[in-house]
């Protein structure tokens, strides 16, 4: 163990989820019960790796998280960054929507001067097979290395406890319901791999994210709008469903199209109506990897002609969160479209190897 003077000072914010859960032997199911202090008490060995300051914010399974929770969490982190002195912040969070929250924090908190790391677990903390401790230790080791700032997600890289992957908050997705290595970076290797005290960085990703010693460029815009709808196209989709949006209060539709960014031609007339009525319609792909390219086929070109806006290789989940954030913090059509098409927090990326 390193000398105590080298240990990082870390705020541990608890928001609930499996990592803050234990088995309820009355029902046989997992129940979210643990506060941040109880979670820390469950793993006293964490004090070997850092000075941990546990704090309870709320206790929610991640399927119950909504934009109001994102704002409250972002506000708390913003206050800690601006008024308190931590080397890093860990947010314990349920895994099911953790990538939505990491995206939300990535947009709400720009140029953070310290690492903010979301950590979850696939197994409750009281189980022998729990991955909570190793994920938490990986996050602490990443913070202690103190080379980079930003919003990250730390989870198992594979099914063993040997390697923890650290992902960019906007380039990660949960891809398996229960495996330890459920989280994967999209179109890139992870930002870093943490194996005991050894950390291997993705050199092509970390450029421009070096940790800074002050927060003069830090900005906090924590409002989110819920007037955004994620719509998945599928064979047999009834185009008449789109008519409903003319009577609803949604301002933005994120389309999850097929392949390079397509929907059936039956949808074209109603999509044109929606766009003419002032609703923004953006295109993402159902494919996990690759980018939207709407100039390859005539279908895509026709959709572009209607005013559909492609979002490159931004995931549909990240696109929804970004639209909620941009809508909540900006006014004006040109500003909104420009922000959605501009890479703000690595949500639009190249395919980058780990080197």
pLDDT in tens, 71-109: 999 999 999 999 999 999 999 999 999 999 999 999 999
* Model pTM score: 0.90
Residue 144 CA to residue 327 CA, distance in Å, equals 36
* Neighbouring-strand partners of residue 11: 53, 89
Residue 124 CA to residue 24 CA, distance in Å, equals 11
Architecture of domain 228-341: 3-Layer(aba) Sandwich (3.40)
Averaged pLDDT score across all residues of the chain: 88
Q: What pLDDT is recorded for position 35?
A: 58
Q: Which residues are catalytic?
A: 18, 95-96, 174
- CATH topology of 4-220 equal to that of 228-341? yes
Please provide residue 220's backbone torsions phi and psi, each rounded to the nearest 5 degrees: -130, 110
Residue 257 CA to residue 287 CA, distance in Å, equals 9
Question: Average pLDDT for residues 255-268, to the nearest whole number?
Answer: 98
Q: Which two tokens stand for residue 79?
A: 């206050």
Residue 76 CA to residue 68 CA, distance in Å, equals 12
Question: Average pLDDT for residues 2-29, to the nearest whole number?
Answer: 69
Give SS3 for 195: strand
**CA-closest candidate to residue 71, choices 215, 183, 226:** 226
Q: What pLDDT is recorded for position 1?
A: 42
Question: Average pLDDT for residues 158-164, to the nearest whole number?
Answer: 88
How confident is residue 227, by pLDDT bands cut at 50, 70 and 90?
very high
Q: Which two tokens stand for residue 267?
A: 């949808």
Q: What pLDDT is recorded for position 206?
A: 59
Burial status of residue 208 (CB atoms within 10 A of its CB: 0-12, 13-18, 19 or more): exposed
124 has pLDDT over 80:
no
Residue 182 CA to residue 95 CA, distance in Å, equals 9
Give SS3 for 227: coil
How many whole angstroms from its chain centre is CA 20? 19
| Beta-carbon contacts of residue 136 (< 8 Å; ≥ 6 apart) | 43, 46, 90, 92, 119
Q: What pLDDT is recorded for position 23?
A: 53
**CA-closest candidate to residue 245, choices 261, 266, 229:** 229
CA dihedral 100, 103, 104, 110 (to 10 degrees): 170
168 has pLDDT over 60:
yes
Give SS3 for 168: strand
pLDDT in tens, 182-213: 999 998 889 999 997 799 998 776 555 666 55
Residue 242 CA to residue 245 CA, distance in Å, equals 6
Domain ranges of the chain: 4-220, 228-341
4-220 has which CATH code? 3.40.50.1170
Q: What pLDDT is recorded for position 256?
A: 98
């Amino acid at each position: 163990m390193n000398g105590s003077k080298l240990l990082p000072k870390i705020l541990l914010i608890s928001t609930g989820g499996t990592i803050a859960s234990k088995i309820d032997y009355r029902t046989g199911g997992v129940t979210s019960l643990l506060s941040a202090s109880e979670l820390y008490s469950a793993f006293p060995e964490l004090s070997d790796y850092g000075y941990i300051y546990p704090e309870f914010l709320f206790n929610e399974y991640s399927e119950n998280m909504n934009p109001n929770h994102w704002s409250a969490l972002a506000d708390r982190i913003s206050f800690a960054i601006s008024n308190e002195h931590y080397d890093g912040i860990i947010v314990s969070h349920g895994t099911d929507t953790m990538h939505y929250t990491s995206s939300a924090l990535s947009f709400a908190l720009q140029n953070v001067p310290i690492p903010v790391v979301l950590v979850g677990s696939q197994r409750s903390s009281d189980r022998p097979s729990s991955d909570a401790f190793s994920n938490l230790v990986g996050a602490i080791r990443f913070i202690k290395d103190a080379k980079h700032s930003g919003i990250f997600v730390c989870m198992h890289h594979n099914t063993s406890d040997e390697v923890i992957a650290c992902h960019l908050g906007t380039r990660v997705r949960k891809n398996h319901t229960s495996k330890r290595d459920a989280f994967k970076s999209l179109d890139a290797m992870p930002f870093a791999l943490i194996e005991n005290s050894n950390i291997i960085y993705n050199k092509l990703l970390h450029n421009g994210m070096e940790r800074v010693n002050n927060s003069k460029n830090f900005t906090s815009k924590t409002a989110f709008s819920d007037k955004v709808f994620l719509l998945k196209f599928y064979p047999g989709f009834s185009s008449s469903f789109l008519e409903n949006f003319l009577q609803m209060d949604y301002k933005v539709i994120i389309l999850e199209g097929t392949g390079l960014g397509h929907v059936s031609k039956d949808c074209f007339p109603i999509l044109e109506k929606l766009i003419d009525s002032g609703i923004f319609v953006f295109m993402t792909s159902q494919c996990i990897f690759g980018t939207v390219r709407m100039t390859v086929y005539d279908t895509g070109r026709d959709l572009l002609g209607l005013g559909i806006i492609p979002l490159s290789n931004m995931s549909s989940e990240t696109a929804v969160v970004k639209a909620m954030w941009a809508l909540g913090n900006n006014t004006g059509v040109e500003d909104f479209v420009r922000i959605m098409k501009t890479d703000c927090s690595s949500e639009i990326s190249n395919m980058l190897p780990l080197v």
